[in-house]
Structure 1
Amino acid sequence: MTDRAVAPLLAGVTIVEISRGVAAGYAGRLLSTLGAETILVEPRDGNPLRHEPPMLPPTNEASALFAYLAAGKKSVACDFETPAGRAELSTLLAAAEIVIHDLRPEERIRLELDEEGLRARYPKLVDVSVLPFGAFGPKAGWQAEEINLIHASGEGFLLPNGLAAERFPDRPPLKVYGHFAEYQGGVVAALGALSALIGREHGGAESVDVSVQDAALAVGAFALQRLGDGSLEHRRTRSFKYGGVLECADGYVELLTLEERQWRGLVELMGRPDWMQDPALADSLERSRRGAEINRAIRAWALEQRTADVVAQAQTLGVPMAKYASPAEVLSGAHERARHLFQPVEIPGADRLPMLSAPFHVDGAAPTLKAGPPRLGEHQHLLTSRRRRDQPAVTAEVS
């Protein structure tokens, strides 16, 4: 980690974002945090995520989700259904490098924003579509919410698992909290936009079609691989042979021991008990066969440990282990502070609050949030400034 100033990777790149959902919004957020000027084009009554709970105190008028997704962006209000609104949007697109949207195929045609039309009018514009099931194929017109996508990707079928499945065997399949699948779609869309932007220098602009279902399917790659091998994973069986979630005296930790060196570190961490000295356990296959027996011993030991102490010792010994932290602990954590992951931003209708800049570093430094979320139409002046920039110069003829 370094505190030196790093020039934003996407400085000088302009993105137009037309989003209603989390996936397209997160793609724009990631690229904005990398330095792009991301212009969020909203309907006159605002992006629907502005009203998505939970709402932030003290006024309860600011959506926490929208505040996070829109941080650093600029807002322009525009009515696409009118010729004037479409002309305003055209002004922005003409000056942009990338457009990210979640418009359904029939909407794109009606609004004259279909792939062929965009390519004809804006030959250098990278077009990124992010839809639940993609823009092509039999499901292109299907709508879906997060709960549909988490189950359509197979992940819902596998939850809860591990310790939760053991303790609550009768629970139905569960949705991961929040917008897990849609965030995966946003990551893929951002990467697709970057790839197309790089490729534009060699072969012209491209259109990127992202399916959130496909993006979330990639998370369960091991389950898909085992399905190909003839084994159907189920939430009752999807767990590490030993390790996973462990209850400690003051909370929970997660333990992972996939490699031989990690097993040896765990032996040291637990104080080299006699049962772990069994020569047969030197064989990883034998450990897998006796996973339930090993786990009973590990869980009994973990109940006597305190999370902070055991995690610190584990990391010293090279054992992958981390604590399940509360939100307050995450904000105050030494790791998060050292990496400058949270930055204070102004949120209209709420207080100045810490916000995650990005879950990564660039050249050893945390990306900097340019601002908090914008007010609706706060940057309406961009329509005029872009129009002036794009107007061709007029040269008078001399007769």
Structure 2
Amino acid sequence: MSTAASAAPLRASTVPLAAPLAGVRVIEWSGSMSASFCARVLSDLGADVLKLEPPGAGDPLRRVGPFAPHAAYGEDAALFAYLNHGKHSATLDPSYPAGAALLKRLVESADLLITSAHASRLAELDLDGNTLRKLQPALVTLAVTPFGTRLADDASANRTDPDTPAAFTDFTLTHHAGYAFHQARPVHAPSEQPPVACADREVALATGIAATNAALWGLLEAQLHGEGRSIECAELDVIAHLLIEPVADYGRGERTFSRLREELQGTEVAGGLIWLLPCRDGFVMISPREEHQWERWVELLGNPPWSRDAALCGERTARNENWMTLQEEMAKWTREHTRADVFERAQAARVACFPVSGARDLLENAQLNARRFFDCWEGTGDTPLSMPGLPFCLRTSSGAELPRGRDVASPRLGSANRAVFEERLGLSPAHMETLRQQGVV
């Protein structure tokens, strides 16, 4: 975690955009990071999102680091705050008949229910979409699960209880879908360098965006026709649809897929050459793919003697064959400069180049800050902490913008209980106390 950079004030000409989903009521009952991210994006767009958490302990992500150093215990988990800021938190366990009855009452005034429970579990609790739409005909139900609700008879997924959260992880899903194999190739020693899962919660976040698109479609359909829909979004489907290249390769006849890197072909990317070069303070990626770019690049390096050796680098084929020697030669120059210096000089020379950034670099990134990308997570002590914000900018033709660079806070566990159960549903304090003792709320 890093301290938030001071955000530039909104331009005087900027008019805040009215929240597109204002008035839309969403209930999130899930143990899925994908479902939580979907609900958070809908909240960013103005939906009123009620997050139902297990009574007592709450969402397990409340206990997963990294943690803010000065935040209150239970409200200090950064990942939980990122996925859930802007929501209301209430505690409810629908596995109890009384809990399922309360969820049905909440659904009567809801537009969308997001869940990660399998269809069989929902049917067992009498909380499936068809049943709930008898109470609220325009209700959209969105199930975000690892494999979806329709499983092949011989699918390995059937061998494990689909309601067990630990049964499937990003690691197992990326391997099951073939994405880990594709992402982790080629390497020099496949037997010693096994493919690994995607980094940085890629499966959860990608699925969350896909689920958000599906939810918006469902809400629009319900608004137009007054009839709700049951939607399912499978993480496996989302991962598999990213495999454009290997499926195309198979279609053209390739049958031998190997993760072994062939010597002297490690720098071939997108039809050109790229190099990872060390600098005084890190690394840059340089990609003089075309001949005119290469000429400007070696001119920037001062036209060293090796650059005039036609056998070494006179043509792209030669540069490809001698990439390691060229990398060592070019690194002699880049090591004397900072990443920013190399980047700025290469950009000025119209050569593709960018610094390899870490977390601090992102927080100080001028482009991200100009776009007000980072939110400020409050409740973490005297200084708010930076947190990635909306992954898009929404602006109307008249110039109104959806606010970015916002102040956000992590919802306290059960902070909406009174408003939801007593004020909205009319439960008495005595009834609430009984439900607490029973573990329902």
Which segment drifts farther, 178-187 or 306-315?
306-315
Name the aligned partner's letter for residue 230 of structure 1: G
TM-score, normalisation: structure 1: 0.82
* Aligned match for 1:186, one of 208, 224, 247: 208
The 1-side partners of 2:421 and 2:239 are apart by: 36
| Contact 1:345–1:352, Cα closer than 8 Å, also in 2 | yes
TM-aligned CA deviation for residue 384 of structure 1: 3.8
TM-aligned CA deviation for residue 84 of structure 1: 2.6
CA 84–171 in structure 1, closer or farther in 2 if over 3 Å, else same: same
SS at match of 2:205: helix
The 1-side partners of 2:106 and 2:239 are apart by: 31
Q: What CA RMSD, in Å, does the superposition of the two structures yield over aligned residues?
A: 3.4
CA deviations over 1:351-386 (Å, ceiling 9, x no partner): 732211122211166535463120111111123444
Question: Would you say 1:297 and 2:326 are equivalent positions?
Answer: yes
The 2-side partners of 1:24 and 1:218 are apart by: 19
The 1-side partners of 2:423 and 2:346 are apart by: 57
Name the aligned partner's letter for residue 193 of structure 1: A
* Aligned match for 1:251, one of 272, 275, 282: 282
* Aligned match for 1:208, one of 231, 237, 252: 231
2:69 alignment partner in structure 1: 57
| Contact 1:307–1:323, Cα closer than 8 Å, also in 2 | yes
Q: Map 1:1-399 onto structure 2 (within 5 A).
A: 3=11, 4=14, 5-45=16-56, 46-58=58-70, 61=74, 62-138=76-152, 139=155, 142=162, 143-161=167-185, 165=187, 170-203=192-225, 204-231=227-254, 232=257, 234=259, 236=261, 241=268, 242-243=273-274, 245-255=276-286, 264-271=292-299, 287=316, 291-294=320-323, 296-298=325-327, 300-302=329-331, 304-305=333-334, 306-347=338-379, 352-363=384-395, 367=404, 369=406, 371-380=408-417, 381-387=419-425
What residue ranges of structure 1 are gaps of 5+ in the alignment?
389-399
TM-aligned CA deviation for residue 174 of structure 1: 2.0
TM-aligned CA deviation for residue 193 of structure 1: 0.7
The 2-side partners of 1:356 and 1:234 are apart by: 34
Which segment drifts farther, 296-305 or 80-89?
296-305
The 1-side partners of 2:347 and 2:189 are apart by: 28
TM-score, normalisation: structure 2: 0.75
| Contact 1:128–1:207, Cα closer than 8 Å, also in 2 | yes
Name the aligned partner's letter for residue 59 of structure 2: N
SS at match of 1:120: coil
**Corresponding residue pairs, total:** 380
| Contact 1:252–1:323, Cα closer than 8 Å, also in 2 | yes
| Contact 1:101–1:128, Cα closer than 8 Å, also in 2 | yes
TM-aligned CA deviation for residue 23 of structure 1: 0.8
Name the aligned partner's letter for residue 97 of structure 2: P
CA deviations over 1:189-247 (Å, ceiling 9, x no partner): 01111122223334432222111111122333223222322333637369651216444
TM-aligned CA deviation for residue 169 of structure 1: 8.3
The 2-side partners of 1:36 and 1:368 are apart by: 18
Name the aligned partner's letter for residue 69 of structure 2: P
CA deviations over 1:119-161 (Å, ceiling 9, x no partner): 3332211111111111212256544111111212322113445
The 2-side partners of 1:157 and 1:193 are apart by: 31
Larger radius of gyration: 2
**Sequence identity (%):** 27
SS at match of 1:80: coil
TM-aligned CA deviation for residue 276 of structure 1: 8.7
Which segment drifts farther, 1-10 or 74-83?
1-10
| Contact 2:37–2:205, Cα closer than 8 Å, also in 1 | yes
The 2-side partners of 1:239 and 1:125 are apart by: 52
Name the aligned partner's letter for residue 234 of structure 1: R
The 1-side partners of 2:54 and 2:148 are apart by: 23
Which segment drifts farther, 187-196 or 55-64?
55-64
SS at match of 2:242: helix
The 2-side partners of 1:228 and 1:246 are apart by: 36
SS at match of 1:106: helix
SS at match of 2:18: coil
The 2-side partners of 1:275 and 1:63 are apart by: 52
The 2-side partners of 1:82 and 1:196 are apart by: 29
SS at match of 1:208: strand
Name the aligned partner's letter for residue 209 of structure 1: E
The 1-side partners of 2:80 and 2:382 are apart by: 12
The 2-side partners of 1:167 and 1:247 are apart by: 24
The 1-side partners of 2:207 and 2:350 are apart by: 33
1:395 alignment partner in structure 2: none
The 1-side partners of 2:308 and 2:49 are apart by: 56
The 2-side partners of 1:36 and 1:150 are apart by: 31
What residue ranges of structure 2 are gaps of 5+ in the alignment?
1-7, 396-400, 427-441
CA deviations over 1:37-65 (Å, ceiling 9, x no partner): 11111110211221223333246643221
TM-aligned CA deviation for residue 289 of structure 1: 8.7
2:437 alignment partner in structure 1: none
